[in-house]
Amino acid sequence: MPRNVKKWSIIFLIASLIGIGILAWPSIQWMHKNVTAISKRHDSNMSPVIFIPGSSATQNRFDGLIDKLNDRRGKRHSLLKVTGPY
């Protein structure tokens, strides 16, 4: 292999490695940030529970149960009541 071609091959190889390093750095930082955010969401202590009252029950059917849960735990649970036309 001629000397000139070998020199340019080495320069191209070094420039390619530097370019890959420059592109890899932001992607690694982004990946670490996303993994941290996902792990915080995954480690959440509360998960949603859906209560569906029977056909003859009112929309306030589970109010007593929610009050008991909130009294025992100390931390109030959020509640979303979804009602619709019947």
More confident residue, 46 or 52: 52
d(CA 51, CA 48): 10
- What percentage of the chain reaches a pLDDT higher than 90? 33
Q: pTM for the whole thing?
A: 0.40
d(CA 24, CA 18): 10
Average pLDDT, the chain: 83
* Residue 33: band (very low, low, confident or very high) from pLDDT cuts 50, 70, 90: very high
Distances in Å between the Cα of 68 and the Cα atoms of 16, 50, 51, 65, 78 are: 64, 16, 15, 5, 13
